[in-house]
Every structure is written in C-alpha cells, then in structure tokens.
C-alpha cells in the first residue's frame, strides 16, 4: 500500500514539474525577431524549429531529438515553445 502512495505522489510531482516546464521563464533567452533561420539553438543547448501560421507571430517549437542539426536531446529544463 505504501508503494502505491509513493508512486502516486511521484507521478503527481512529476506532472507538476512537466506542466511548469512548458512555459518559458522570462529569464530564458528567446530568439530575436530578426532571426530568419529554420532552427535555433538556445544558449542552454535546447533546439527549436521555427513555425508561423498566416497572420500570426513566429513560434519556436522544441525539437525532442535534433540529431539532424547536431543538437543534444531535449531535457525537462527546455520550454516546449518560445515566442519569437
């Protein structure tokens, strides 16, 4: 019974960390508006790809496995999206 409670607590704690990691903290460096390339590698090593819907602002989406651009795998520290 203690194992079930421990696993439930661990799952809830991990879920809370994951939800917080989705939003980029204000101190996280975002690409400049003038950044026109397809990929962006943040100083922290997180890799992003550029996307933009018609009439909307640029959004940078996290690349989980950026082997094609020579980046490292994403970690829990990497925000899932950045505003460009």
Domain that holds residue 31: 2-83
Question: What's the rounded Cα separation, in Å, for the pair 62 and 48?
Answer: 4
pLDDT of 3 over the 80 cut = no
* Longest CA–CA separation in the chain, Å: 56
Q: What is the pLDDT of residues 54-82, one digit of tens each?
A: 999 899 999 999 999 888 899 999 999 99
Quote the radius of gyration of the chain (alpha carbons, Å): 16
Q: How many domains does the chain have?
A: 1
pLDDT of 19 higher than 70 = no
Of 74 and 19, the one with more pLDDT? 74
Least confident interval from 21-30, 43-52, 57-66, 70-79: 21-30
Backbone angle region of 44, left / alpha / beta, with phi > 0 → left and psi within -120 to 50 → alpha: alpha
**Upper half-sphere CA count for residue 10 (Cβ side, 13 Å):** 6
């Amino acid at each position: 019974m203690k194992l079930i409670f421990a696993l439930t607590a661990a799952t809830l704690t991990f879920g809370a960390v994951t939800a917080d990691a989705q939003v980029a903290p204000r101190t996280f460096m975002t690409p400049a508006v003038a950044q026109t390339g397809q990929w962006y590698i943040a100083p922290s090593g997180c890799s992003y790809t550029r996307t933009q819907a018609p009439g909307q602002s640029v959004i940078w989406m996290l690349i989980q496995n950026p082997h094609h651009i020579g980046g490292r795998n994403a970690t829990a520290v990497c925000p899932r999206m950045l505003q460009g």
